[in-house]
Structure 1
Amino acid sequence: MPTSPPTSWSGRPTRPGRAGVCRGSSAGGRRRCSTRCSCSKASTCTCRASGRCATRGRSTAWWRGTLLSVHVAGYLAALFLVLSPGKALVFFAVHQGLWGLYMGSVFAPGHKGMPTLKPGEKLDFLRKQVLTTRGVRGGWFVDAAMGGLNYQIEHHLFPNMPTPHLRHAQSIVRAHCAEIDVPYYETGLIESYRQMLRHLHAVGAPLRA
């Protein structure tokens, strides 16, 4: 069955082939690959069509952890410097609660109410991502409000693709799905919330009985 091609960290499709092994120096953030294909350690590197690897080594993970730690420390320091301890704790609780609500409103429309795989049911990669996910249309405003996760199908197919490229990939994915008769489901933002709430209401019925 047709599946989506692997992508490099830049979001560009790579040349299909057998598993390769990253070799040589990692200078400049890249390593030479023995074959022009996806590396055997996919979490570490992905070979480009040119035979080069885009890598995410320990140094990248270290920087991400460092920046996250600095962010948290700076956030808490600013709270307790500007506000009294009691007010800082209240602000923190309200801020994190609203942030969680906002993030839930972004993640849920792409998944809630969509089909789920039953035990023993198997699908290829493309169908598993497309048939269990909902896209949300709405133009630039929805793109900004949802951070590109309204292109949830494309995000699942190409998780390493930069957000600005997802909308360009959508027309390609939609056309490919039509070509192989795989339903591509997309709806507006308000309708996605309606469907999500109807689903949650239905699955909660036994608890209300």
Structure 2
Amino acid sequence: MVKQERAVRTRQALVRAAAELFAAHGYARASLPAISARAGVSTGALHFHFPDKDALAGEVERVAARTVRELAGRCGRSEGSALGALVTATRQLAVTLAADPVTSAGFRLGGDPARRHRAGPLDWWQAWVRETVGRAEAAGELADGVCSEGAVVAVVAATAGFETLGSRDRDWLSRERMDRFWTLLLPCLASRPPTKEPRP
């Protein structure tokens, strides 16, 4: 049992170290020796868990996608409307991107030109936003004339933009910035105010 717990901790340390270096230097420039040194383990231990850098990057993306799925699921269950869930999930995602290097790196890896594209957290987020906007449309929550696909584009593009800008300046991922974004966008989207104020 102790050996298994140590293996889990080592794997988590490697994923976090890789995420931090992918975020700081990009996929191509983050070396396996630097990742293992940052995690405080040998390169042999790294290769025991991950055969190569691509496998390690894939695990960063999988962990990030799981985090985003769980976040969106909680918001979907806690809100009375689809638009309310979208607002709350976007706010919570910004907080998570600011605090969690694995989630942030997972988003960034999807757009890294040095790595073959795989389905990552941004792809999953886009699909969830599309499904949630579709539910809002079906429930009559969208204002007349609002194009649902246009709403998806605006929210997903803004999310990706906030993450990119936030990697240089954490203020872009602040509650204040997200509130300003939704204060501008929500009245354009909603046929009526959400049934309750989305939680920050």
Q: TM class by shorter-chain length?
A: under 0.3
Q: TM-score if structure 2 supplies the norm length?
A: 0.23
Higher strand share: 1
Q: TM-score if structure 1 supplies the norm length?
A: 0.22
